[in-house]
Structure 1
Amino acid sequence: MKHFLLLIGLISLIYRPASAQDEYYFPGEIFSADIPKPQDFVGYEIGEWHTRYDRLIAYFEALAAASDQAELQVINQTNQLRPLVVLIIGKSDHINNLESIRQKHLQLVDPNQPKPDVSNMPAIINLAYSVHGNEPSGGEASILTAYWLLASQSEKAKEIRENAIVMIDPAINPDGRDRHTNWANMHKGFPPVADPLDREHNEIWPSGRVNHYWFDLNRDWLPLAQVETQSKIKWYHQWYPNVVGDFHEMGTNSTYFFEPTKPFGSENPVVPRKNYDEINNKFAGYFAKALDEIGSLYWTKETFDNSYPGYGSTYPDIQGGLGLVFEQGSSRGHVQQSQRGDITFAFTIRNQLKISIATMEAGVKERVFMHDYLREFFQSAIDEAKKDRVQSYIFGDVYDASKNKLFLKLLLDHGIQVYENDKDISLFGVKYEKGKSWIVPTVQPQYRMVRTMFEKVTEFADSVFYDASAWTMALAYDMPFASQANASMKGNRIEKVKDSELRFPTESPYVAYLVNWSDYFAPKFLHQIQQSGVHVETNMLPFSALTDDGEMEFPAGSLIIPTGFQSLSSGELRQVLQNAAQVSGQDVFATATGLSKSGIDLGSNNVSAIQVPKVLMLIGQGTSQYEAGEIWHLLDSKVNMPISKVDLSSFGRVNLFDYNTLILPSGNYSSLSAGQINHLKDWLSRGGTIISLRSVSQWLISQGIVQESYLEVERKERQNEFLPYSSRRDVQGAQAIGGSIYLAELDITHPLGFGFRRSELPVYRNSSIFLKPSADPYQTPVRYSAEPLMSGYVSSTNLEMIKQSASTLVSSVGRGKVVHFVDNPNFRGTWFGTNKLFLNAIFFGNKM
Structure 2
Amino acid sequence: MKYVSLLTLALFSCLSVAQIQYAPKAENPSMPSPKQVLGFEVGQWHVRHDQIQHYFEQLAEKSSRAQLEIIGYSHEQRPMLQMVISAPENINRLQEIRQQHLAAARGDAKPNEHAPVVIWLGYSIHGNEPSGANSSLLLAHYLASSEDPQVINWLKNAIILVQPSLNPDGNDRFALWANMHKGATAVADRQHREHNEPWPNGRPNHYWFDLNRDWLLLQHPESQARIAQYQQWLPNIVGDYHEMGTDSTFFFQPGIPSRNSPFTPERNFELTKKLAEYHAAALDKNNKLYYTEESFDDFYIGKGSTYPDVQGSVGILFEQASSRGHIQESINGELSFPDTIQNQFTASLSMIEGAVEQRLALLNYQHQFYNEAKQEARNDKISGYILTESADSSRMAALLDNLQRHHISVYPLRKEWKEGGEKYPANKSYFVPLQQAQYRFIKAIFSTDTLFNDNTFYDVSAWTLPYAYNIQFKAVKNSPSKSVLGQSWQQQPIATTELVAGAYAYAFNWQDQQAPLLLQALLAENLVVRAAMNDFSADTEQGQIELHKGAMMLPAGLQSGDWFQRLQRVQQQFNLPIYAINTGLTSKGSDLGSRNFVPVTMPKVLLIAGPGINSTEAGEAWYNIERLGGISPSIVEPQRFASIDLTRYSHIVLPDGNYNQWSDSDLAKLTAWLQRGGVLWAHKRAAMWAAERNILKADTWSAKEMYSLISADDLSYADQEQLGGKRRLAGAIYQAQLDLSHPLAFGFTRAELPVFKNSVLLLKPSEQPFVNVALYSESPQLAGFTAAEYIPRISQSAALLAHNVGKGKVIAMTDNPVFRGYFFGSSRLLINALYLGHSFDARGQ
TM, length-normalised to structure 2: 0.95
| Whole-Å separation in 1 of the counterparts to 2:14 and 2:665 | 62
What residue in structure 1 maps to residue 5 of structure 2?
none
Residue type at the aligned position of 1:390: I
SS at match of 2:617: helix
Whether 1:252 and 2:242 are equivalent positions in the alignment is no
Task: Give the drift of 1:23.
Answer: 10
More moved, 652-661 vs 253-262: 652-661
Whether 1:242 and 2:236 are equivalent positions in the alignment is yes
Indicate conservation of the 8 Å contact 1:715/1:797, yes or no.
Answer: no
What residue in structure 2 maps to residue 12 of structure 1?
none
Change in 2 beyond 3 A, CA 1:718/1:708: closer
Candidates 291, 299, 303, aligned match of 1:307: 299
| Whole-Å separation in 2 of the counterparts to 1:834 and 1:499 | 26
Residue type at the aligned position of 1:179: R
Task: Give the drift of 1:673.
Answer: 3.1
Indicate conservation of the 8 Å contact 1:503/1:588, yes or no.
Answer: no
Task: Give the drift of 1:535.
Answer: 0.6
What residue in structure 1 maps to residue 836 of structure 2?
844
Whether 1:616 and 2:606 are equivalent positions in the alignment is yes
Q: Give matches, 1:489-568, under 5 Å.
A: 489-490=481-482, 491-494=485-488, 496-499=490-493, 501-507=495-501, 509-568=502-561
Residue type at the aligned position of 1:100: E
What residue in structure 2 maps to residue 760 of structure 1?
752
Whether 1:733 and 2:733 are equivalent positions in the alignment is no
Contiguous gaps of at least 5 residues in structure 2: 1-10, 841-845
Candidates 252, 260, 266, aligned match of 1:273: 266
Task: Give the drift of 1:685.
Answer: 1.3
What residue in structure 2 maps to residue 592 of structure 1?
582
SS at match of 2:762: coil
Whether 1:106 and 2:102 are equivalent positions in the alignment is yes
What residue in structure 2 maps to residue 36 of structure 1?
32
Change in 2 beyond 3 A, CA 1:33/1:574: same
More moved, 819-828 vs 525-534: 819-828
Candidates 822, 825, 837, aligned match of 2:817: 825
Whether 1:85 and 2:81 are equivalent positions in the alignment is yes
Residue type at the aligned position of 2:137: I
Task: Give the drift of 1:431.
Answer: 5.0
What residue in structure 2 maps to residue 126 of structure 1?
120
Task: Give the drift of 1:110.
Answer: 3.0
SS at match of 1:88: strand
Whether 1:94 and 2:96 are equivalent positions in the alignment is no
Task: Give the drift of 1:610.
Answer: 1.1
SS at match of 2:740: coil
Residue type at the aligned position of 2:443: R
What residue in structure 2 maps to residue 353 of structure 1?
345
What residue in structure 2 maps to residue 467 of structure 1?
459
Whether 1:365 and 2:357 are equivalent positions in the alignment is yes
SS at match of 1:704: coil
Q: Give matches, 1:37-76, under 5 Å.
A: 37-76=33-72
| Whole-Å separation in 1 of the counterparts to 2:541 and 2:28 | 76
Candidates 639, 657, 663, aligned match of 1:673: 663
Task: Give the drift of 1:24.
Answer: 5.4
More moved, 32-41 vs 727-736: 32-41
Q: Give matches, 1:632-671, under 5 Å.
A: 632-671=622-661
| Whole-Å separation in 2 of the counterparts to 1:601 and 1:720 | 62
Task: Give the drift of 1:384.
Answer: 0.5
SS at match of 2:546: strand
Task: Give the drift of 1:719.
Answer: 8.7
Candidates 321, 334, 338, aligned match of 2:330: 338
SS at match of 1:313: coil
Residue type at the aligned position of 2:114: N
SS at match of 1:326: strand
SS at match of 2:507: strand
SS at match of 1:773: coil
SS at match of 1:847: coil
- 1:180-233 CA deviation, whole Å, 9 max, x = no partner? 000000011221111111110111112110111111100001110000000001
TM, length-normalised to structure 1: 0.94
Task: Give the drift of 1:303.
Answer: 2.3
Change in 2 beyond 3 A, CA 1:479/1:800: same
Task: Give the drift of 1:605.
Answer: 2.3
What residue in structure 2 maps to residue 225 of structure 1?
219
Residue type at the aligned position of 1:155: P
Q: Give matches, 1:343-492, under 5 Å.
A: 343-425=335-417, 432-490=424-482, 491-492=485-486
Indicate conservation of the 8 Å contact 1:71/1:87, yes or no.
Answer: yes
**How many residues are matched?**
825
What residue in structure 1 maps to residue 319 of structure 2?
327
| Whole-Å separation in 2 of the counterparts to 1:782 and 1:17 | 61
Whether 1:286 and 2:278 are equivalent positions in the alignment is yes
SS at match of 1:636: helix
Whether 1:197 and 2:187 are equivalent positions in the alignment is no
- 1:579-601 CA deviation, whole Å, 9 max, x = no partner? 32332321111211111111222
Indicate conservation of the 8 Å contact 1:109/1:445, yes or no.
Answer: no
| Whole-Å separation in 2 of the counterparts to 1:183 and 1:770 | 38
Task: Give the drift of 1:27.
Answer: 6.0
SS at match of 2:382: coil
| Whole-Å separation in 1 of the counterparts to 2:371 and 2:543 | 52
Change in 2 beyond 3 A, CA 1:847/1:431: farther
What residue in structure 1 maps to residue 8 of structure 2?
none
Indicate conservation of the 8 Å contact 2:598/2:839, yes or no.
Answer: no
Candidates 204, 207, 213, aligned match of 2:201: 207
Indicate conservation of the 8 Å contact 1:781/1:809, yes or no.
Answer: yes
Task: Give the drift of 1:707.
Answer: 2.7
Residue type at the aligned position of 1:675: S
Candidates 685, 696, 700, aligned match of 2:686: 696
Whether 1:143 and 2:133 are equivalent positions in the alignment is no
More moved, 479-488 vs 95-104: 479-488
Task: Give the drift of 1:769.
Answer: 0.4
SS at match of 2:486: strand
SS at match of 2:35: helix
Indicate conservation of the 8 Å contact 1:424/1:433, yes or no.
Answer: yes
More moved, 548-557 vs 317-326: 548-557
What residue in structure 2 maps to residue 3 of structure 1?
none
Deviating beyond 4 angstroms after TM superposition, the runs of 4 or more aligned structure 1 residues are 16-25, 27-30, 426-431, 714-720
Change in 2 beyond 3 A, CA 1:17/1:203: closer
Residue type at the aligned position of 2:514: F
Residue type at the aligned position of 2:95: E
Indicate conservation of the 8 Å contact 2:504/2:581, yes or no.
Answer: yes
Indicate conservation of the 8 Å contact 1:75/1:231, yes or no.
Answer: yes
What residue in structure 2 maps to residue 606 of structure 1?
596
Indicate conservation of the 8 Å contact 1:694/1:769, yes or no.
Answer: yes
Whether 1:630 and 2:620 are equivalent positions in the alignment is yes
SS at match of 2:495: coil
What residue in structure 1 maps to residue 3 of structure 2?
none
- 1:317-359 CA deviation, whole Å, 9 max, x = no partner? 1111111111001000011111111111111110001100000
Residue type at the aligned position of 2:153: E
Change in 2 beyond 3 A, CA 1:718/1:833: closer
| Whole-Å separation in 1 of the counterparts to 2:261 and 2:441 | 11
| Whole-Å separation in 2 of the counterparts to 1:690 and 1:53 | 39
Task: Give the drift of 1:629.
Answer: 1.2
Task: Give the drift of 1:32.
Answer: 2.3
More moved, 428-437 vs 239-248: 428-437
| Whole-Å separation in 1 of the counterparts to 2:220 and 2:715 | 44
Report the identity percentage. Answer: 39
CA RMSD of aligned residues (A): 2.0
Indicate conservation of the 8 Å contact 1:417/1:493, yes or no.
Answer: no
- 1:115-164 CA deviation, whole Å, 9 max, x = no partner? 242x1111111110010000000011101111111222333322211211
| Whole-Å separation in 2 of the counterparts to 1:206 and 1:762 | 29
Change in 2 beyond 3 A, CA 1:23/1:138: closer
